Amino acid sequence: MPEIERRITQAEAIREALAQAMEEDERVIVIGEGVPDPKGIFGTTTGLQQRFGKARVFDSPLSENGITGICVGAAISGMRPVMVHQRIDFALLAMDQIVNNAAKWHYMFAGQVKVPLVIRVIIGRGWGPGPQHAQSLQALFAHIPGLKVVMPTSGYDAKGMLLAAIRDDNPVIFIEHRWLQDIADHVPEAPYIVPLDQALICRPGQHVTLAAFSYMTVEARLAAEALAEHGIEVEVVDARSVRPLDMSTIVESVRRTGTLIVADTAWKTGGIAGEVIAGVAETAFSALKRPPLRICLPDIPAPTSPHLTRGYYPDALYLARAIAAHLGRSIPDAELADRLFRTTPHDVPQREFRGPF
């Protein structure tokens, strides 16, 4: 199995998925502001136009609502468009077409027309993107019947779920995290599918269920490793999908651990972390041995200055402390801090990151 050695970044995994989808189905087209440009959406679309031509890989005017509607129109006419927003914030301009049309076209016409559309949106941050360029708006999409909404964490899942999303006959909001794009993972070359509705237990543990979304899964795993050294076994569930939420995997885990903590990349109030808690409280109340807990962003927009973002984004150390405290376990803080101290500046994904976005 030489395959097992193949490690590529998530950005490369996404590019590979796009290329393979275009290869296997000529109805697949890719469009977005900057798709064929030299930066290629953080490298996720680089080379696609050279390979598949200008008739299938498009740049886009700055017209988010219009282009979304145009892609819906193409999708109901037999194409399978994949569109992309470099920041989820720009998708706010397209909420009308996403919510009123894409999500409902199949339903409104009683199932006569399909909308095979993938909308890639990127959350997270370079450095200092600030209030309008670093939102994590998954909750807005998660509330909408007719959409599927996914947030893969690993490069493996990113490829498999993107292929699944493109093959799916429904509109899928595919949420990528900027800080995951440069992380390498084992990603098989041949096309494969990861289902759009299944959470993944990526670390088993019997003391607490930590359901995490997207990049928070990375921090969650680090926290879990550190806590394991102190005898706290955290079960890390990578939620992977937001709509539908795989509640049964989460509920089963809570039935084993008795404790639920949810870590999300978004603001706490009105976010999907609350939805997970409400779902568990409704359906597995008696399994809960103690109050559930959300670890999310504070309810304020992201500031820009690194002096101000410090502490804004909960990291592994924050998670580990919060988990230990929630379980009433006292761990010498210096040990945790020592283990989880981030040597990279807190506002960049990798040490080599040099800006500007």
Ligand X SMILES: Cc1ncc(C[n+]2csc(CCOP(=O)(O)OP(=O)(O)O)c2C)c(N)n1
Binding positions for other proteins, 10-39, rule CB under 8 A: 29, 33-34, 37-39
Considering only 109, 269, 337, 338, the residue that binds other proteins (CB under 8 A) is 109
Closer residue to ligand X (CB): 95 or 288: 95
167-206 positions binding other proteins, by CB under 8 A: 169-170
Closer residue to other proteins (CB): 127 or 215: 127
Contact mark string toward other proteins, 288..327, x via CB under 8 A: ----------xxxx-xxxxxx-xxx---------------
Closer residue to other proteins (CB): 69 or 155: 69
Beta bridge partners of 260: 209
Asked if 90 interacts with ligand X (CB under 6 A), we say: yes
DSSP labels, 150-170? E---SHHHHHHHHHHHHHSSS
227-266 positions binding a second copy, by CB under 8 A: 243, 245, 266
Options 39-47, 131-139, 216-224, 329-337: segment touching a second copy (CB under 8 A): 131-139
Considering only 4, 55, 190, 334, the residue that binds other proteins (CB under 8 A) is 55
Tokens, residue 180: 């995951």
Asked if 274 interacts with a second copy (CB under 8 A), we say: yes
Options 99-107, 112-120, 168-176, 207-215: segment touching a second copy (CB under 8 A): 99-107
Q: What region does 223 belong to: left with phi over 0, alpha with psi -120 to 50, or beta?
A: alpha
Please check whether residue 30 is in contact with residue 48, taking contact to mean a CB–CB distance below 8 angstroms.
yes
Considering only 79, 193, 281, 322, the residue that binds a second copy (CB under 8 A) is 281
Q: Within 10 A of 283 (CB to CB), how many other CB atoms are there? A: 13
Closer residue to ligand X (CB): 100 or 198: 100
Please check whether residue 47 is in contact with residue 24, taking contact to mean a CB–CB distance below 8 angstroms.
no
What is the rounded distance in angstroms from the CA atom of residue 278 to the CA atom of residue 298? 19
Backbone φ and ψ of 82, nearest 5°: -115, 115
Tokens, residue 317: 């150390």
Residue numbers annotated as active site? 64, 133
Q: Within 10 A of 257 (CB to CB), how many other CB atoms are there? A: 22
53-82 positions binding ligand X, by CB under 6 A: 62, 64
Closer residue to a second copy (CB): 89 or 235: 89
HEC string of 276-341 equals: HHHHHHHHCHHHCCCCCEEEEECCCCCCCCHHHHCCCCCCHHHHHHHHHHHCCCCCCHHHHHHHHC
What is the rounded distance in angstroms from the CA atom of residue 164 to the CA atom of residue 192? 8
Please check whether residue 194 is in contact with residue 244, taking contact to mean a CB–CB distance below 8 angstroms.
no
What is the rounded distance in angstroms from the CA atom of residue 42 to the CA atom of residue 266? 22
* 3-class DSSP state of 215: coil
Asked if 33 interacts with ligand X (CB under 6 A), we say: yes
Asked if 88 interacts with ligand X (CB under 6 A), we say: no
Closer residue to a second copy (CB): 106 or 177: 106
Asked if 235 interacts with ligand X (CB under 6 A), we say: no
Chain residues in the site for a second copy (CB under 8 A): 65, 89, 92-93, 95-96, 99-100, 103-104, 107-108, 130-132, 135, 137, 139-140, 142-146, 243, 245, 266-267, 269-275, 277-279, 281-283, 285-286, 288, 290-294, 299-301
Chain residues in the site for ligand X (CB under 6 A): 33, 62, 64, 90, 93
